[in-house]
Amino acid sequence: MISKETIDKIFSTARVEEVISDFINLKKSGSNYKGLSPFVDEKTPSFMVSPSKQIWKDFSSGKGGNVVTFLMEQEHYTYPEALRYLAKKYNIEIEEDNKELSEIQKETQLNKESLYQLSEVANEYYQNQLWNTEEGANIGISYFRERSIRDDIIKQFQLGYSPKDWAAFTDFAFNKGYKKEILEQSGLAIFKESSDQGFDRFRERVIFPIHSFSGRVLGFGGRVLQNNVKTAKYINSPESEIYHKSQILYGLFQAKSFIIKEDNCFLVEGYMDVISLYQNGIKNVVASSGTSLTVEQIRLIKRLTNNITVLYDGDQAGIKASFRSIDMILNQEMNVKVLRFPEGEDPDSFAGKHTADEIKIFFKENSKDFIQFKTDVLLKETKGDPIKKASLIRDIVGSIALIKNLIQKEIYIKECSRILDISEQVLFSELAQLTQQNVQSGDRNKKQQAVLQPVNKSQQEEIDFICKIEEDILELMLSYGDHEIVINYVEEEEPYTTTVIEEIVHRFNEDDLQFTVEFYNKIYLEIIEGIENNQLRTGEYFVKSQEIDITEFAVGKLLKKYSISNNWELKEIYVPTLEQNLSKNTKDVILKYKAIRITEMNKNLAKELSSGNISEKRRLEIFKQIIMLDKLLKQIHKLENRII
């Protein structure tokens, strides 16, 4: 876990305008910057960055936050991944907080960090061998040139070369201070049993580094260049604490922004498939790297898009295996299409023979939904055999049964009926039967159990009113919580000085109040925690929250505070702000909130009284409570100078 000190240093060092300008063209607008939204297609800039507050707001999509949440939204990083990206950008050393970890956990964490460091060292080493040695140029660069891979693509994918010498990298790593154990765990070196003499796993191969979602090197793939060698054409790093091939997609780091932009991901099998397509304009492409597609890999793609197009060559066995992948994708509530290349072609070879425009046209014209694909493949095998055709229909309906969206299900059933010339009624009957079987086999827990209670108009207005006042209270605390105010509720009493946050918390505590809206209460409880630690947690604190919804809420309140244009004052249009009468506004909102909560309690008691299903003792208790609450309500109205 990244230490709090490191997180604070990252936030204090990173400049939101610098980071965002790496992704968006920002232009100066007064004291702020403006640009086109990266989240929606727009012509008029609505994306604002405030250097003074170190926050951003996209008024088109409603999103907003700090430098970390921008990376989480734009690059789909997790919170730690975004922090590590910024630490790398600003050369900040990351310290891990190990205080609450056991000795075993500390050792595991240190071991993982050593593996990450060694992988980065190896990646730089292999690239240096490719570009800066005679052997690398004669063998490695020559191979990539033969495959028509441009230099800029070689550098973008950080491709490298491992020399012929049996222990070139192993000796290099030893000289850097890395121990046998960590070299062995990484798989970069292989050691004979009970020996310190190791040799390079990837010797005499071109190297394909495999990156994490955020760009860290996790492992490597290597391709042998000699055709007469009795060894595997491709080999990968073995499983380690940082490399789990079932949870990684090759090329995702380079492709993720294009996947978001195109709202689709092309899925292929190999490294060169990705690189060749990427070079030829299909940049939203990733590879499963020779492994069978896994749920974890599908979920990685789902972070970026709900649409996958699976690319297959003409191999019949591979196509049959694709059926399992299609069902897995559908089961993850994603849309799947399939594209099949002409016989004898694969993505790499096809990309090498066609222009970028030709490839895009071919992809557009030949991508089929899974029903068309399955039908094209399986109908050929039925050859008029009704039993085989019935099996085909059941197979396709089985895939449709995995779809959660009812509208999509119906559309696919209609399409299936049209293609296979069978009535919709029969298909719906089969679908119902398969769905029931799924329920009986353990899917009952996935059925929605919630029962919605009707809410009448007056009840809804009351709920909305309470939510609005709670939001107003939070706005005061986030925007002006550390401001000093002078308070007195009764003129005869001595006024006292306090802060907005302390006054609100004090008045809530005296009546044991908390917010009714769970989201607001979550923020309120963090504010209370801050007071207990001698902190006044205002909006500046919450814009650094790890939770995006809290960050966006805080940003919205801070921007509202600073949103009044100076041009208004030049035109002698003066808009009062909360700050200009902060003492009165704080007092008023507390009294108003207490009044509506008392009214709410009174209504609940009256409802219980009218039910008739209560004891005489409870009836008397309710009457006493109502009388007491009425007195409190009159006192509050008097303080508000209101006439009942």
- Domain ranges (residues) in the chain: 4-89, 103-243, 253-366, 369-441, 457-639
The yes-or-no verdict on residue 29 having pLDDT over 80 is yes
Percent of the chain with pLDDT over 70: 86
Longest dimension (CA), the chain: 100
The helix (run of H) or strand (run of E) holding residue 64 is: strand 64-65
326-344 pLDDT per residue, tens: 889 988 888 999 998 888 8
pLDDT of residue 569 exceeding 50, the answer is: no
User: Which residue spans within 427-510 are E strands per DSSP?
Assistant: 484-487, 496-499
Least confident of 51-55, 446-450, 524-528: 446-450
Q: What's the predicted TM-score (pTM) here?
A: 0.64
Selected residue with higher pLDDT from 345 and 380? 345
Q: What is the CATH number of domain 4-89?
A: 3.90.580.10
DSSP states of 378-441 as a string?
HHHHHTT-HHHHHHHHHHHHHHHTT---HHHHHHHHHHHHHHHT--HHHHHHHHHHHHHHHIII
Q: Which residue has the higher pLDDT, 633 or 21?
A: 21
Find the mean pLDDT for residues 124-146.
Answer: 96
Q: What strand order describes the sheet that includes 55-58?
A: 27-29, 32-35, 47-50, 55-58, 64-65
Q: Is 384 exposed, middle or buried (0-12, 13-18, 19+ CB in 10 A)?
A: exposed
Half-sphere exposure of 169 (CA within 13 A, CB side): 32
Determine the Cα–Cα distance for residues 279 and 150; give it in Å rounded to an integer: 8
Quick one: tokens of 199?
Answer: 């040799």
In this structure, of 46-55, 277-286, 451-460, 464-473, the range with the lowest mean pLDDT score is 451-460
Q: Each residue of 183-230: pLDDT tens digit?
A: 999 999 999 877 788 899 999 999 999 998 878 899 999 999 887 667
Residue in the block written with tokens 């995702």? 252
The pLDDT assigned to 101 comes to 60
For 618-643, how does the pLDDT look when each residue is reduced to its tens digit (9 = 90+)? 777 877 777 776 776 776 666 655 43
Q: E-assigned strands of 76-213?
A: 160-162, 189-191, 198-200, 205-211
Radius of gyration of the chain from its Cα atoms, rounded to whole angstroms: 32
Superfamily of domain 103-243, CATH level 4: DNA primase, catalytic core, N-terminal domain (3.90.980.10)
The CATH code of the domain at 253-366 is 3.40.1360.10
User: pLDDT, tens digit, for every residue of 278-302?
Assistant: 999 999 999 987 678 899 999 889 8
How confident is the model at residue 391, as a pLDDT?
84
Percentage of residues of the chain with pLDDT beyond 90: 34
- Residue 478 falls in which region: left (phi positive, over 0), alpha (psi -120 to 50) or beta: alpha
Reduced to 3 states (helix: H, G, I; strand: E, B; else coil), residue 514 is: coil
Mean pLDDT of the chain: 83
Backbone angles phi, psi at 311, to 5 degrees: -105, 125
Residue 148 region by backbone torsions, left for phi larger than 0, else alpha for psi between -120 and 50, else beta: left
pLDDT at position 43: 81
Query: Residue 442: pLDDT above 60?
Result: no
